[in-house]
Structure 1
């Protein structure tokens, strides 16, 4: 299966026509998404807070559901700027899912990548979801969260539609660097809430491999050996070699979604089941993947 095909998560469903209003050129798309979406962390940092009605937005698992919420708050075209009360309050995952849906609809090969960016906190690699796309040439990294507000806030001077690869590490790259001793695991995680460590890199490794295989879950979903690592905040010794093998396989993932899925299927426990370990109301709980 090609990366131009929608996944169960990026399919806009009955809102295909509404999604079509968004531009398919990455630079214009990043700018347009700020009319609809705001990161919850930015909302708090800028003093907006998150409206009570929007506190569950970040747990919406599909683009179809995100579009349903957005259009129920403001039915105007998605290119029209929303008032704060009518925005979607999400995470980088939601920006990436929107962008993937738009680009795939336009016939652009697009896959979501999960890893860490160094441009949000000095000296720290923050958990981050972006897109990787190509139009017949090499894959390019695209951060759809870097619209005007974010570029200004974080002093971004690089091209967000051709993100320098030194500024972003995939889950596999971060895991391998931590294991090799070239990356301090305490600098990998979520700086805003003070979590970091090899266990976090292990989860990102598996979420990235799954996303490349077309399973675009939530940033706080875990399964298999990664779920154990989340519960323990530690990767068990007996699982280190397993994560090493997955990281080696996905350091340079296959170019098609079907091949990536087949590769991931070869690792027992690497595919999520019908439910995954997730975070609900600040507690770990089993949740359906869709």
Structure 2
């Protein structure tokens, strides 16, 4: 299956025509997304916080739900700037999901990538989700969260539609770097909430592999051996070879979704079931994936 086909998570449902209002050129798309979507971390950093009615925005699992919420608050074209109270308050996951869906609708192969970026906190690799799209036969990274406002905030000068690979480590690459001793696990995680460690890298490895296979879950979802690592806040010694094998397989993933799904299926416990361990309001709980 091609990465042009929408997944159960990126499918806009009956709102395809509204999604088509957004431009498919990456720079223009990142600019447009700043009109409708803001990261919850940025809202808190700027002192405005998250409106009560937007408290659960980041927990929306599907693009259709995000679009329904955005249009219920403000039915104007998605390119129109929303008032702060009418914005969607999400995470990098939501920027990546919307961008990936827009590109797929435009006939561009696109997939979500999960990993870590070094351009938000100096000396730290922050958990981050971006879009990867095919252009001219090559896969390029695109960070749709880096519209003009965010580029200015973080001093970003690189091409956001061709993100340098040295600035973003995929889940597999991050795990391999930690295991090789070239990346300190204490500098990898979520700096805003003060969590880091090899257990975080293990979860990102599986989330990235799942997204490549067309299973686009939330940043706080874990399953299989990674779920146990989250509970313990460390990876069990016995599980290290298993994660090493998954990372080796996905450091250079297959180009098709079907082949990626088959590869992920070959590792017992690597595919999520109908529910996952999801950390909701700081407490782990089982949540359905759709």
**Normalised-by-shorter TM-score class:** over 0.9
Superimposed CA distance per residue, residues 166-189 of structure 1 (whole angstroms, 9 cap, x where no aligned partner): 000000000000000000000000
Secondary structure of the corresponding residue to residue 156 of structure 2: coil
| Distance in structure 2 (CA, Å) of the matches to 1:233 and 1:81 | 41
Question: Are 2:216 and 1:178 equivalent residues in the alignment?
Answer: no
| Distance in structure 1 (CA, Å) of the matches to 2:232 and 2:8 | 31
Superimposed CA distance per residue, residues 213-236 of structure 1 (whole angstroms, 9 cap, x where no aligned partner): 100000000000000000000100
Which residue matches 1:165? 165
Which residue matches 1:114? 114
Which residue matches 1:75? 75
| Distance in structure 2 (CA, Å) of the matches to 1:52 and 1:125 | 30
Runs of 4+ in 1 over 6 A off after TM superposition: none
**1:136, distance to aligned residue in structure 2 (A):** 3.4
Which residue matches 2:26? 26
**1:281, distance to aligned residue in structure 2 (A):** 2.2
Secondary structure of the corresponding residue to residue 186 of structure 1: helix
Which residue matches 1:43? 43
Deviates more, 1:276-285 or 1:59-68: 276-285
| Distance in structure 1 (CA, Å) of the matches to 2:240 and 2:9 | 30
| Distance in structure 2 (CA, Å) of the matches to 1:33 and 1:238 | 43
Which residue matches 1:199? 199
Alignment of 1:1-290 (within 5 A): 1-290=1-290
| Distance in structure 2 (CA, Å) of the matches to 1:142 and 1:54 | 26
Q: TM-score scaled by structure 1?
A: 0.99
Aligned residues: 290
| Distance in structure 1 (CA, Å) of the matches to 2:279 and 2:234 | 17
Superposition CA RMSD, Å? 0.5
Deviates more, 1:68-77 or 1:133-142: 133-142
Q: Which runs of 5+ in 1 are unaligned?
A: none
Secondary structure of the corresponding residue to residue 243 of structure 1: helix
Secondary structure of the corresponding residue to residue 15 of structure 2: helix
| Distance in structure 1 (CA, Å) of the matches to 2:164 and 2:72 | 37
